[in-house]
């Protein structure tokens, strides 16, 4: 029986609606069973509620060794299509003019499909090192799944020579990206009739003061750095993107909440940035609020995050990927991936995969067939290098 091609694998993967709010188990179990049919056993590392799962599988070296080697990493979840106008069914792979359309084709089921299609070829090679597949859940909502998998692998004593995260980079190596940190702030004041303002404590107004402070911090990073000119936005950024509060135009609002994010350059500790936000609250805002209402409070919740990532040019995995792609340009990007998690786990990592990040997350997402062919060629050379 013939094994699926990259295109056939991609058709199958796209048909699974693995929007982050849904379970990914149907996709993971399909991949597990397909690998088992080829003699490859996979481990499933499930979410705490059991509704989702990571998958980890090893293609051993010719001597049976499972230690070392390269990890091929990809996330299985995709962003929603809600509110987007598609020209095709987002969950049915459609070819138009050399492009394959569908949700996740670019971000990042194309890379996963290419890797899975080549498993029979990988198994036939006389490799001195193993190849590993690490498929995660909930990357799109804060890199939730991968840490569970990495911790279990650590407990098992697994060691790896490197990792390639196949996010869309147009098959160009990316050696660094910023971290992302998403926070929600809840401001609790006191309601009052708007004609009696001294009897209330306006949660929206105090939230606005804090939002302006966050903007001041952002302006300071822009004006004073630190900078890394290899990034398209060469400094740490901060922005407030959601806000809600108040119940009526004539009522002092007792509650307001807003969400903000910051994307820190590698080497900038995210905790130090959040500490500046909270210091302003403790030293400036809360004392003023509590003069109006003794029980006023401001709460913070960390909603999502992914660490920054920066691979040294001397790392073997960086040199290997640059050699295999023939591309030695130093690229750093503002978007976040799971690469920082693998690096924190002590695994040297590079980001390189098919498709352009500009096509991700929007309607009519696609990956070019030529990009998938380049990915296949790259993975073949990678396996041969082992």
Peptide bond connecting 226 to the previous residue in cis, omega within 30 degrees of 0: yes
Q: Which of 17, 107, 139, 167 is catalytic?
A: 139
Strand partners, 133: 57, 72
Q: Which of 17, 77, 140, 376 is catalytic?
A: 77
- Calpha distance 343→310 (Å, rounded): 8
Kindly state the helix (H) or strand (E) to which residue 180 belongs, with its residue range.
strand 179-188
Q: Is 95 helix (H, G, I), strand (E, B) or coil?
A: strand
Cβ within 8 Å of residue 28, ≥6 positions away = 44, 53, 54, 55, 76, 135, 137
Crossing angle between the packed helical segments 110-117 and 25-37, to the nearest 10 degrees: 20
Are the C-beta atoms of residues 308 and 265 closer than 8 Å to each other? Answer: yes
- Calpha distance 285→135 (Å, rounded): 44
Cβ within 8 Å of residue 259, ≥6 positions away = 182, 183, 184, 185, 240, 241, 242, 243, 303
Q: Which residue has the tokens 């050696």?
A: 175
Cβ within 8 Å of residue 288, ≥6 positions away = 206
- Calpha distance 86→77 (Å, rounded): 19
Are the C-beta atoms of residues 6 and 113 closer than 8 Å to each other? Answer: yes
> Does the annotation count 376 as an active-site position?
no
Strand partners, 184: 259, 301
> Does the annotation count 327 as an active-site position?
no
Strand partners, 350: 164
326, 375, 379, 321: which is closest to 348 by C-alpha? Answer: 321
- Calpha distance 69→83 (Å, rounded): 42
| Catalytic (active-site) positions | 77, 139
């Amino acid at each position: 029986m013939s094994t699926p091609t990259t295109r056939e694998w991609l058709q199958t993967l796209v048909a699974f609606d693995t929007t982050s709010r849904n379970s990914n188990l149907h996709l993971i179990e399909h991949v597990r069973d397909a690998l088992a049919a080829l003699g490859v056993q996979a481990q499933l590392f499930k979410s705490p509620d059991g509704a989702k799962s990571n998958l980890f599988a090893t293609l051993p070296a010719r001597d049976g060794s499972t230690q070392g080697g390269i990890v091929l990493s990809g996330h299985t979840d995709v962003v929603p299509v809600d509110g987007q106008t598609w020209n095709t069914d987002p969950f049915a792979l459609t070819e138009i003019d050399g492009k394959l359309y569908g949700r996740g084709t670019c971000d990042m089921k194309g890379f996963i499909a290419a890797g899975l299609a080549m498993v029979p070829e990988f198994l036939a090679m006389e490799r001195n090192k193993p190849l590993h597949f690490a498929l995660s859940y909930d990357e799109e909502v804060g890199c939730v799944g991968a840490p569970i998998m990495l911790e279990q692998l650590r407990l098992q004593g697994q060691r790896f020579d490197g990792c390639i995260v196949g996010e869309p980079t147009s098959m160009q190596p990316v050696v660094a990206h910023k971290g992302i940190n998403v926070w929600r702030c809840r401001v609790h004041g006191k309601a009052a009739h708007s004609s009696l303002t001294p009897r209330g404590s306006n949660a929206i107004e105090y939230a606005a003061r804090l939002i302006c402070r966050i903007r001041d911090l952002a302006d300071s990073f822009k004006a004073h750095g630190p900078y890394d000119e290899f990034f398209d936005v060469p400094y740490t950024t901060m922005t407030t993107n959601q806000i809600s509060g108040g119940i009526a135009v004539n009522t002092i609002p007792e509650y307001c909440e807003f969400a903000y994010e910051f994307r820190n350059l590698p080497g900038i500790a995210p905790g130090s940035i959040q500490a500046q936000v909270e210091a302003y609250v403790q030293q400036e805002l809360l004392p003023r609020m509590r003069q109006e209402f003794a029980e006023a409070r401001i709460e913070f919740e960390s909603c999502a995050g992914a660490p920054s990532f920066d691979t040294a040019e001397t790392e073997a995995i960086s040199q290997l990927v640059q050699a295999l792609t023939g591309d030695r340009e130093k690229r750093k990007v503002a978007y976040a991936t799971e690469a920082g998690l693998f690096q924190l786990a002590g695994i040297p990592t590079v980001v390189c995969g098919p498709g352009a990040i500009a096509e991700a997350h929007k309607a009519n997402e696609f990956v070019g067939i030529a990009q998938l062919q380049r990915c296949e060629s790259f993975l073949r050379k990678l396996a041969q290098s082992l």
